[in-house]
Structure 1
């Protein structure tokens, strides 16, 4: 007589993943590795990397001129990232992107103010002075007037740049 052995049923569901989805995930992690390699050293120091990943990124920096070697190494870096939980790394990179976006928005706003000052003259000066009281009205009027003269004469935009630099130095946004 044979004994019937109770085999415990596995209650976990095995999620089926297509080969295409695995390739997409792999490619995304490889791009994450490329992003890590493109970071500046001071930014890279803020990203939580373990020792193996840090060494791999450092080696990728040394392989920059060697095309095929760098390509293979980027694949290896993607493999290392597949073996790890990358949520902390992605959060750190998202923080860098947010700071860049905020800086771009501020830069664009300053450009708009500069263009408005040159285009509108005293109206623009009054508008910016109502929002930013710390600015020097006389300096703004002088820079805007010089910028208009340069544009009319077709000269290089020295006062245009100087006005932008003045705004950039004196307008501090709350972050």
Structure 2
């Protein structure tokens, strides 16, 4: 507390919310515990600093109470780490089936929008998916629309879906 001449009053220092700090530390510790439990093949793919990687390798060899102390120690040293990226990477590694399903749904959504006539999506896909052949894409869209009008089986719509899915897989 000190006297501020401008406002003619005492100014009190604001301290951070202790509960919020504890929640953040608990979250960081939970992420670190997840990382310690990862299989070695997945562990190597998670982006992190060399210092944190060495500490996590050490933590795998430590037992109970010492492990808890070491996790608390590591949680204080994660200021420069991108925890959100680590969590995202761990989720992708832990749930490959979910990621594959998301890709399938994304390809279906793109196909449906393209057949419905969303031309802006074509330019977006060209930038998003390397190797996208615009001419072939437009041909598949035209053929799919023609088949839909003539009530024929959706051969071109299936080809369009397969083409988009293969491009997304190659990404």
TM-score class normalised by the smaller sequence = 0.3 to 0.5
Please identify the structure whose Cα radius of gyration is greater: 1
- TM-score, normalisation: structure 1: 0.44
